Structure 1
Amino acid sequence: MPSSVQAGQANLESVPMRRPWGVIIAVLLLAVAVTSVLWLHQRQGPTVGGPFQLVNAATGREVSDQDFRGKWLLVFFGYTHCPDVCPTTLSNIAEAMSQLGPLAEHIQPLFITVDPERDTLPVLIDYTGAFDPRILGLSGSANQIASAAKAYQIYYAKRVIGDDYYMDHTATILVVRPDGSHSASILSTAGPTDITRKLRQLIGNNGR
């Protein structure tokens, strides 16, 4: 065999076979991406709402979330000394209840105080009644309120200023279905017409 041919064969044999690493890496990355998407779709977000034990300001008796089954709930956490957000939000809820007409019979607005120290039951009754007698004020012990706020993912904290204090809190209206599950969240900046439109949409799509 000519030496040139032998040299050529030797060179071919000495060159290692090239693996398609680019294709392999691309396939692996695709598999990881598909797995991540499936995991995100299967992963459940944090649950909003749940059981609570609070005191009905109107009766002085303890109530639970079970007592409101069959009603759509508008749940708002706040306090009576709130300078602007709380009175504005409750005023908007009251106006929305008026705009809803007969549909309002299926809705129960709840105002849960985050300041039980000052918001005694008589204070709550007077405060909510000033907006709409259909708005029910709820209070309770510090632990009961903390438990309810945690269930509904509401943040609140006491901020002391000199000899006085105010309550920093989440300003969101939580809409709860008649079965107790969370339906939607409405920002406190929503006007009464926006609240009315949202409730008509939700109740119309999900039944009463």
Structure 2
Amino acid sequence: MNRHAMTYLNDRIASRSRSLLRWLAPLALGLSLAACQQQGAATEEPPLAGAAIGGPFTLVNKEGKEVTWAQFKGEWRIVYFGYTFCPDACPLDVQAMMRGFNQFSEAHPELAEKVQPIFISIDPARDTPEVVGQWTAAFGPRLMGLTGTPEQVKKAADAFAVYYKRGEDTAGGYLMDHSRITYLMDPDGKPIAMLPTDKGPDAVAAEIAKWVK
């Protein structure tokens, strides 16, 4: 190949290289942006991040043994405050919570082992350890029921920003006014999200799966 042919060939290669670079540059930028967007979605901040929710408490389980918040270190926790004599709200909420948890457990059995559902009574006058144990058992063996003295219950409720108050008397006994929140807490005991029990088990399972990895 003579010198002129070689020069022509080199010029053609350089020209095609410049054209290829002009075509690849926007594509590379697009892929880079897409990767950033995916990374941003994967690191979505939990809705309750930084909230002053959760804290130390000492309560008792169905056997009357002391249980502290620190004992759950390293476990994800689902926490609901209610009372066993509740005629409607608590059973509905806890049922949706546990059915959602069970769905999550079937789909992700290994992850579910790291999650502890907890029911805390805000009616210690009637909710003895035995009563709480019998009530929670109706929703499955994984649900832990806790109660305590009025002082212990108040400390736990205050730590989780839970409102409760004795309500009106009825033929079946007095009612309790209380907030209806189901918290998902991370292994360090920090708040992550509120589980949507009002939207049913499917929504609860999806929200758990979104955060528990």
TM tier, smaller: 0.7 to 0.9
How far 1:121 sits from its partner (Å)?
1.1
Q: 2:126 matched to 1:118?
A: yes
- The DSSP-based 3-state class of the residue aligned with 2:64 is coil
> What is the CA–CA distance in structure 2 between the aligned matches of 1:93 and 1:162, rounded to whole Å?
27
Q: 2:188 matched to 1:189?
A: no
Contact 2:57 2:69 in 1 (8 A): yes
Which of the residues 153, 161, 177 maps onto 1:153? 161
How far 1:56 sits from its partner (Å)?
1.4
Q: Percent identity?
A: 39
> What is the CA–CA distance in structure 2 between the aligned matches of 1:121 and 1:50, rounded to whole Å?
22
Which of the residues 41, 52, 55 maps onto 2:57? 52
Question: How big is each residue's C-alpha offset from its partner over 1:134-166, in whole Å with a ceiling of 9 and x where there is no partner?
Answer: 100000110110010000000000013266310
| 1:60 alignment partner AA | G
How far 1:129 sits from its partner (Å)?
0.4
Number of residue pairs matched by the alignment: 160
Contact 2:101 2:204 in 1 (8 A): no
Q: 2:77 matched to 1:73?
A: yes
- TM-score, normalising length from structure 1? 0.73
Contact 1:171 1:188 in 2 (8 A): no
How far 1:115 sits from its partner (Å)?
0.5
Q: 2:93 matched to 1:84?
A: no
| 1:79 alignment partner AA | Y
Which residue in 2 is equivalent to 1:139? 147
- The DSSP-based 3-state class of the residue aligned with 1:95 is helix
Contact 1:157 1:169 in 2 (8 A): yes
The unaligned stretches of length 5 or more in structure 1 are 1-43
| 1:68 alignment partner AA | F
Which residue in 1 is equivalent to 2:22? none
The unaligned stretches of length 5 or more in structure 2 are 1-48
